[in-house]
Amino acid sequence: MEHYHMNLTLKVWRQKNAKMKGNLETYKVKDISSEMSFLEMFDVLNEQLIIEGKEPIAFDHDCREGICGMCSMYINGQAHGPWQNNTTCQLHMRAFKDGDTIVVEPWRSSAFPVLKDLVVDRSSFDRIIQAGGYISVNTGNAVDANAMPIDKKDADNAFMAAACIGCGACVATCKNGSAMLFVGAKVSQLSLLPQGEPERESRVLNMVAQMDKEGFGNCTNTYACEAECPKGISIANIARLNSEFLIAGLSNEEN
C-alpha cells in the first residue's frame, strides 16, 4: 500500500454549549499521513489549536476500534464518513486526497441535542432500553445454560441484531430522525429468543411508546439507516418491530 501525505481544509461545527448557537469554522491541517485514522487527524488539529491558544474541538470517542459506539461525526454529509459498514474511528485518511475540503458536523436530531461542538446527548437511547430492552431475570435465577436449546438460525439472527453499537447513525442519517432501526434491533434480538417470550408484548409496546416520547420521528422506509449503519443492521429488524408491535397491540386490545 502506497502511503502519502496531504494538506486539508476542514470546516467543523463549533458550538460552545447546548444553549448557544453554533457555526462552521474553517481550519487547515498540513502533512496528514494517509495511514492516520480520521480521529488521529483530529488529534493533530486539536494539538495545533491548543498550541495556538485556542480551544480544541470537543468530540466523542473512546475505544477507537469500532465497537463502543461513542464516536459520532457527520462527515461530508454522511454519518461516520464515506466508507460502508464503518465507524468514524475506523475511517482512515487514505479515503481522502491532498487538497480536499472536509465538512464535519455533529449528529443532527431533535432527540440528540448538541452539548458542545460535535458532542451530542444520546441518553434518549438509554431511556428506551429502560422502557423494556431487557429480560427480567435477577442474578441467581438462571437455569443451566444448555437446558433450553435454541435453533441456531434464531440464535444467529438474534446475534446479528444484537451487534448494534447504539451510536445513533441511523437516527442522524434519517430524514425523519427515526430510531426504528435501533429499537427494532433490540426488540428483534429479544423476541427471537425463547428467553424473551414472557415479556414479548409489553416490551415492544413500552419501547415504542418511549421512542415516541423522546421525539424520534417515524419510519418512511427510505433505507438510509441500513445503508449508514456501521454494523450492517438489517432493516428486516424494522419489519419485525412492526409485526411485533401490531401483534402486541391487537392482543392488548382484547385484554
- Write out the binding residues for another protein, residues 49-108 only, by CB under 8 A: 49-51, 53-56, 58, 60-70, 83, 86, 90, 92, 94
The alpha carbon dihedral of 224, 187, 208, 60 has a sign of negative
Burial environment of residue 19 by CB neighbours within 10 A (0 to 12, 13 to 18, 19 or more): exposed
- For another protein, the binding residue among 7, 9, 17, 26 (CB under 8 A) is 17
CB of 3 to another protein, least distance (A): 8
- Identify the CA nearest to 182 among candidates 206, 158, 211, 156: 211
* Residues 117-146 contacting another protein, CB under 8 A: 119, 121-123, 125-126, 129-131, 133-146
Separation of alpha carbons 237 and 198, rounded Å: 20
- Among the listed ranges 96-104, 172-180, 189-197, 219-227, the one in contact with another protein (CB under 8 A) is 189-197
CB of 47 to another protein, least distance (A): 6
- Among the listed ranges 99-107, 169-177, 192-200, 221-229, the one in contact with another protein (CB under 8 A) is 192-200
Separation of alpha carbons 183 and 208, rounded Å: 7
Cell of 154: 434464531
- For another protein, the binding residue among 195, 202, 222, 242 (CB under 8 A) is 195
For position 159 contacting another protein by CB under 8 A, the verdict is yes
* Residues 31-50 contacting another protein, CB under 8 A: 33-37, 39-40, 43-44, 47, 49-50
Separation of alpha carbons 23 and 15, rounded Å: 7
Cell of 227: 445503508
Please give the sequence-ordered ranges of beta strands (E in DSSP) within the chain, or none if there are none. Answer: 5-14, 23-33, 74-75, 78-79, 101-105, 114-116, 119-120
Nearer to another protein, 31 or 253 (CB): 31
Q: How many residues at the interface with another protein, by CB under 8 A?
A: 79
CB of 74 to another protein, least distance (A): 17
CB of 221 to another protein, least distance (A): 27
CB of 172 to another protein, least distance (A): 15
For position 217 contacting another protein by CB under 8 A, the verdict is no
CB of 198 to another protein, least distance (A): 12
Q: Residue 239 — φ and ψ, nearest 5°?
A: -60, -40
Q: Residue 60 — φ and ψ, nearest 5°?
A: -85, 135
